[in-house]
Chain A
Amino acid sequence: MSRLADTLHSATATGRTLLMAYLCAGDPSVEASVDGLLAAAAAGADIVEIGWPFSDPVADGPVIQAASQRALGHTGRAEVLEVVRQVRQASDVPIALLGYCNPLLNRGLEATIGELAAAGVDALVVADLAFEESEPWRAICRASGVSLVPFIAPTTQGKRLEAIARAADSFIYAVALLGVTGQRAEQSSSILPVVEGLRRHGNAPVLAGFGIGDGEQAALWRRRGLDGVIVGSALVAAMAEGGRTAVGDKVRTIRSGLDNLG
């Protein structure tokens, strides 16, 4: 987790807008997903987010659903760990693991998070873990030195916002729209008042995800005052079209959108 903390601190110190790049482990193969993730890191992603495929990804739109389906037949726990290990061996880039509750619980949460930490995971993002259910998970993560990343959404309100801000021990994942993952032409602003409310209770970096897929859109979120963006479906689509080269190209255009701002 110190890799992640260093990255977050240095971005804050230098004013760099963070980019977290998502790909699904095993899509289309273990090797190809490792290559894609390393290409993303080399092209300017500050954090890579590795998806653990699940049969019922209710937070995901069609692009990531399809990636999960492609990966599922040959990507179980062992392969997910293998992707993490290979990325970690080749790079010091902070690694977030994106999963759904059930595969993580399947052989015992404590053992699984311990293995993920040993393989090189710095943070855990669980798409269907509501904050109200997260305390036992957070305790286990903390014991393994893994950050459990909380979410905010356009519907998050009141006292929950304060509790979420207080629980954050690395960054906060801001769901930037009402809906599932996948690039949108329109960039909703409905999360902005929630981010503003959150800032009153804490100063953890806030990264916006869902719907963001190109440099111009990423730049908009920087102008809106977010500390970073998360890009998933657009990279999964690039991976399907042109493998790691296309992933690297896509990350570079988003990076330059974030950096070259007047």
Chain B
Amino acid sequence: MNGRFGAYGGQYVPETLMHALGELETAFREAQADPGYQAQLGELLRRYVGRPTPLTEARRLSDRFGRRILLKREDLAHTGAHKINNTLGQALLCKRMGKRRLIAETGAGQHGVAAATAAALFGLECDVFMGSLDVERQALNVYRMQLLGATVHPVASGSGTLKDATNAALREWVATVEDTHYAIGSVVGPHPFPLMVREFQSVIGREVLAQCQELLGAGPDAAIACVGGGSNAAGLMAPLVDEDIRLYGVEAAGGGLEGLEHAATLSRGRPGVLHGAYSYLLQDDEGQVREAYSISAGLDYPGVGPEHAYWRDSGRVTYLTASDQEALEALHLLSRLEGIIPALESAHAIARLDEVARATSPGDTIVVVVSGRGDKDLEAIRRREGMS
């Protein structure tokens, strides 16, 4: 069977999409082997995105936890998050396949902005599907996408969040598959998306290894990233899994793991099929998919990438959780100690430095991915904290 990570992954989609998935896999494999394509993507990552992103020594944070902490600064990538690594790769593939239009789903709007950016750069039409609740919560990102020339379609069905936006994007793709590429924003969906998006994001882990080599003469002792769908984490971890490095993913515990107000798919979910892949899933006793919740709109997704499900079961990666409150505190901590305001998503990873520090020894080095910058979240945080 195609595209499995152990038991997970696969292609659970309507028949209409199977031809496009085959075509995409072929285009992706050819592009991977094509030096011209690789050179073009590499050039874009350097001169448009600003890669390599820095690995910043976090001195005051290191003092705080008694470990050497290095921040992988995806917040400094163009558009303010790691999402651009993926959308540029997919937009290039879209052109290569002769398709003229890019569609995307988005939650907080970061992937939508990155997709709209790549579409603008390559002269592709772009339609972004976004839950109607998220459209309200992230009005500024909606305007950014519109400025970039994309059309944003609010999705009112279901709970009006990322899961529903993904359903709408899949339905749109089924109807327009002949001239449209669906640029999925994370390591989720049917094969080849989890593999492909991981490969595009693996630039994060490759740079971490090279930068640590230069700085330390060795790899880090531990590495940590937040996990919603899991693309920045997979991009960090894929190049590190064969090294002797402890790996940690942090999911959103929202209002707490006991109730239903969380997005801790690997910690509290069960295997099942959603959006084309067999992976862990937040679902009720009947196999109906539950709504996920997190203060971070980029983490509130009830599924997770199938490769994370595989790493979870094999024990290669340890998956932890951080609550809304812990993420907020971590956001304040990084802002005040290092002058870096992280996205709420990334703040979940910062929040579990305590546990990762405990699992390592004095003198050890820990790499944390700051997957995005916090500007998009400031209005929501300000409202929640009652400041004005």
Spell out A's residues near B (CB within 8 Å): 54-59, 61, 65, 72, 76-77, 100-107, 127-133, 151-157, 160, 175, 178-180
Contact with A along B17-34 (1 / 0, CB 8 A): 111100000000000000
Which chain A residue has the least Cβ–Cβ distance from B190? A130
Known: A76-B285, A77-B286, A151-B14. 16 other contacts (CB 8 A): A65-B157, A76-B286, A106-B283, A107-B287, A127-B14, A128-B14, A130-B12, A130-B15, A133-B1, A133-B11, A153-B14, A155-B178, A156-B18, A157-B19, A175-B14, A180-B175
Which chain A residue has the least Cβ–Cβ distance from B273? A101
B residues within 8 A CB of A55? 158, 288-289
Q: Which of B42-73 contact A (CB under 8 A)?
A: none
Q: Which of B1, B12, B288 contacts A103 (CB 8 A)?
A: B288
Q: Is B10 an interface residue (CB 8 A)?
A: yes
B residues within 8 A CB of A155? 15-20, 177-178
B residues within 8 A CB of A179? 171, 174-175
Which chain B residue has the least Cβ–Cβ distance from A58? B170
Whether the pair B287, A153 counts as a contact (CB closer than 8 A) is: no
Which chain B residue has the least Cβ–Cβ distance from A154? B16
- Would you give the shortest CB distance from B377 to chain A, in whole angstroms? 27
Given the interface contacts A56-B289, A106-B286, does A175 sit within 8 Å of B15 by beta carbon? Answer: yes
A residues within 8 A CB of B13? 58, 128, 130
Whether the pair B14, A54 counts as a contact (CB closer than 8 A) is: no
Q: Is B344 an interface residue (CB 8 A)?
A: no
**Majority-rule SS of A interface residues:** loop
Q: Is B239 an interface residue (CB 8 A)?
A: no
Q: Is B276 an interface residue (CB 8 A)?
A: yes
Q: How many residues does chain B have at the interface if contact means C-beta atoms less than 8 Å apart?
A: 37
Which chain A residue has the least Cβ–Cβ distance from B287? A106
B residues within 8 A CB of A178? 16, 174-178
Q: Is B223 an interface residue (CB 8 A)?
A: no
CA distance A179 to B178 in the complex (A): 11
Q: Which of B11, B163, B170, B289 contacts A130 (CB 8 A)?
A: B11
A residues within 8 A CB of B152? none
CA distance A102 to B287 in the complex (A): 6
Whether the pair B171, A103 counts as a contact (CB closer than 8 A) is: no
Whether the pair B167, A56 counts as a contact (CB closer than 8 A) is: yes
Q: Which of A76, A102, A180 contacts B274 (CB 8 A)?
A: A102
Q: Is B227 an interface residue (CB 8 A)?
A: no
Q: Is B281 an interface residue (CB 8 A)?
A: yes
Q: Is B2 an interface residue (CB 8 A)?
A: yes
Q: Is B255 an interface residue (CB 8 A)?
A: no
Q: Is B160 an interface residue (CB 8 A)?
A: no
Q: Is B275 an interface residue (CB 8 A)?
A: yes
CA distance A180 to B285 in the complex (A): 28
A residues within 8 A CB of B16? 153-155, 175, 178
Which chain B residue has the least Cβ–Cβ distance from A75? B286
A residues within 8 A CB of B289? 55-56, 102
- Would you give the shortest CB distance from B174 to chain A, in whole angstroms? 6
